[in-house]
Amino acid sequence: MSAWNVDKIDEMALPPCHTLFQFHVQDKELSCQLYQRSADMFLGVPFNIASYSLLVCIFSEILNLKPGDFIWTGGDCHIYNNHFEQVKEQIQRKPMQPPSLQIPKFNSIEEVLKSTPKDFRLVNYSPMESIKAPMAV
């Protein structure tokens, strides 16, 4: 699936950074590979990884498959100059135990569209204090 909509690029602040993705089914698992043509490693990439991982879980539920691997591939991977201090702070942190995700039973895209964020739960999620950084466009 491509996020690239050529006839709309001139209307966008930026062309889509997460350009295309594909699903793969093997051994009753649904995996996804995302290609990101431009990758803001501090702000954008973590959000894209979380979003597409959630998408894998949602489609796995609809298709009655287990969530498989999420593979991220980046083109122009960069850290903006005004994010250096935030990145230094981030890499000094020690990783926490990951939470688990609970989502409703979905049988169709229509059911997903009727859901709200309250229908999704991160169990045993212990977030660290957020690190603020300006968005670069």
Catalytic residues, which ones? 17
Cβ–Cβ < 8 Å for 134, 82: yes
Neighbouring residues of 7: CB distance < 8 A, sequence distance ≥ 6: none
Query: CA 75 to CA 90: how far, in whole Å?
Result: 22
Neighbouring residues of 69: CB distance < 8 A, sequence distance ≥ 6: 29, 31, 32
